[in-house]
């Protein structure tokens, strides 16, 4: 029997907001006719406090 995946949020370490984005590469997937994320990089930006940040993972109850 498989266990359900644990749900989490990624939050800004400065203000705790979840309005954070990471720098990434997208690659065209011809089969699905959509851009898909190929690689996610360490650079993160918080759109709540408008600065570069790091993200921390917090579990969702």
Query: Which of 39, 7, 57 has its CA nearest to residue 18?
Result: 57
Phi, psi dihedral angles at 59 (to 5 degrees): -70, 150
Asked if 55 touches Zn ion (CB under 5 A), the answer is: no
The residues, ordered by sequence, that sit 6+ positions from 1 with a Cβ below 8 Å of its Cβ are none
Asked if 44 touches Zn ion (CB under 5 A), the answer is: no
The correct pick among 8, 10, 14, 36 for binding Zn ion (CB under 5 A) is 14
Stretch that binds Zn ion, among 2-10, 29-37, 40-48 (CB under 5 A): 40-48
Question: Which residues make up the interface to Zn ion (CB under 5 A)?
Answer: 12, 14-15, 17, 46, 48-49
């Amino acid at each position: 029997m498989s266990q359900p995946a644990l749900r989490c949020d990624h939050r800004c370490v400065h203000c705790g907001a979840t309005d954070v984005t990471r720098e990434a590469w997208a690659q065209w997937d011809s089969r699905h006719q959509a851009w898909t994320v190929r690689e996610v990089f360490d650079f993160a930006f918080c759109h709540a406090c408008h600065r570069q940040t790091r993200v921390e993972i917090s579990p969702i109850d």
